[in-house]
Amino acid sequence: MQTKLQSPTGGGFVCLILSVNVLWLAGLPAALAVDYYVSHSGDDKNSGRSPSSPWRTLDQVNRFAFAPGDVIHFQRGGVWHGQLVPRSGNEKGCVTYTAYGKGPKPQILGSIEKNRLEDWKRVKKNVWRAGPFPCDVGNIIFNNGEVCGSKVWTSTDVDEPYKFCYERESNTVLLYAAKNPAELFEDIECALTRHIIPQSGRHHVIYDGLHLAYGSAHGIGGGGTHHIVVRNCDLSFIGGGHQYTKQTPRGPRHVRYGNGVEFWNGAHDNLVENCRLWNIFDAALTNQGAAKNAQYNITYRRNIIWNCNYSFEYWNRPEGSVTHDIYFEDNLCFNAGEGCCHGWGVHLMFFSNQATTKRFFVRRNVFHNARFAALNLHLGQWDWSDELVLSDNVYVQPADKTLVQWDGRPFKAGEFAAYRRFSGKDTDSRLLTVRRLVLKPASVSLKVGQTQAIEAVAFYSDGTSVPVTPLARLV
């Protein structure tokens, strides 16, 4: 199975820096590490200690008691369906989950395939049933993202192509299709509402060079984490699962969720760098909390994000919580609200934040095209904006579209100067429009496993041109 990647458009630059809050990595001594290998050609009865004697399954990886310093290598080109449940290291050594060999990143998919004709039973004209499933199905991805399903909440609403509902009574899915879905599509991934990597309570863990996709909760999620590194990973088509239903005067309100990487309640000394995230239902990257907690020393840097509802989301509650030393820097963020996501579209989403917050930095990023706004900040009675540093960013948004929503007050892109005077933020940032984007070759449509040399240059309205070849780093 291969996952289709789409090339984002736009321009920007990346400054490579090292934040002091992740220097703990440099101080880790070389532990007496053991290397383990996992391959589809392997066998769980093997030792797992060499490429010639690899394990085969996620189950074997998840049940093994790794020691600090151990490294688990998944074979490139391999695909595993299920969850990866990590083990913690300690201050003497991390447990690392990574790749080996040649080819595309190893894929860990949080979905169940329904590709066979016998997987689907006709219920009535144009309505098909599959299952049972172990939990809610939050999304259905057809042919590696060629089409995504549209989740509805009752069987009577399954009335248009690719609408589907999850029936809790039978744990099955109803899907609208003109004929058996397996006749229409080669690959049908039913994304389950559980984290692909559930990491609550984990610490001193490194994920390097993995591709996580097709889960409808979080890609990597959990509370109480520290000393976590997510590096060189791809996360795509994540989120959309049912979180809860709230009764309102207008009837039930169904809430869906699902982030790429989420650090929940009590996270510190975590790093996400050099990753690519696309088609995330909610936030690509986020730290947030809903119980008294502390979040600090968290860095997100040099990531490429596109077609996500939010590129970055933050809030922390209740009062008494603490947040400090958060860095969102040198990231390239494109097309918020496009693709297979919630569809609202904000690059920087800061909900009401009751935590005492200090030293929160958003610097040297590119925010290109947002369906609603590049920045949406909710303050209310908890105004923490004095500690929010917005600096040296590049914004690309049409002049007549909202650029910033500052505590309910909108500023269109054409009012960029007024926004800066009002807020005192982004005084050294730039607002640009892209006059043209040149790609060589002109048409780019890559899948995982393909390689192609791509050059990209963005020409801006101020007369400058910026090489944006990093945006084309899609293999």
Q: What is the pLDDT of residues 189-234, one digit of tens each?
A: 999 999 999 999 999 999 999 999 999 999 999 999 999 999 999 9
* Rg value, the chain, Cα: 22
269 and 300 part of one domain: yes
**Host H or E run for residue 368:** strand 366-370
Question: How far is the C-alpha of 281 from the C-alpha of 279, rounded, in Å?
Answer: 6
Which residues are 261's β-sheet partners?
A: 220, 285
Q: Where among 185, 205, 223 does a domain terminate? A: 185
Amino acid at 373: A
Q: What is the pLDDT of residues 353-405, one digit of tens each?
A: 999 999 999 999 989 889 999 999 999 999 999 999 999 998 988 889 999 99
Q: What is the pLDDT of residues 60-78, one digit of tens each?
A: 999 999 999 999 999 999 9
Structural domain total, the chain: 2
Q: Is the per-residue pLDDT at 451 higher than 70?
A: no
> Domain limits at 419?
4-30+194-434
381 and 408 part of one domain: yes
Q: What is the pLDDT of residues 125-157, one digit of tens each?
A: 999 999 999 999 999 999 999 999 999 999 999
Mean pLDDT in residue range 274-296? 96
Q: Where among 185, 207, 238 does a domain terminate? A: 185
In a domain, 47, yes or no: no
Q: Where among 148, 168, 185 does a domain terminate? A: 185
Question: How far is the C-alpha of 95 from the C-alpha of 201, rounded, in Å?
Answer: 14
Q: Is the per-residue pLDDT at 471 higher than 60?
A: no
Yes or no: say if 54 and 100 are a contact pair by the CB < 8 Å rule: no
Q: What is the pLDDT of residue 1?
A: 39
346 and 397 part of one domain: yes
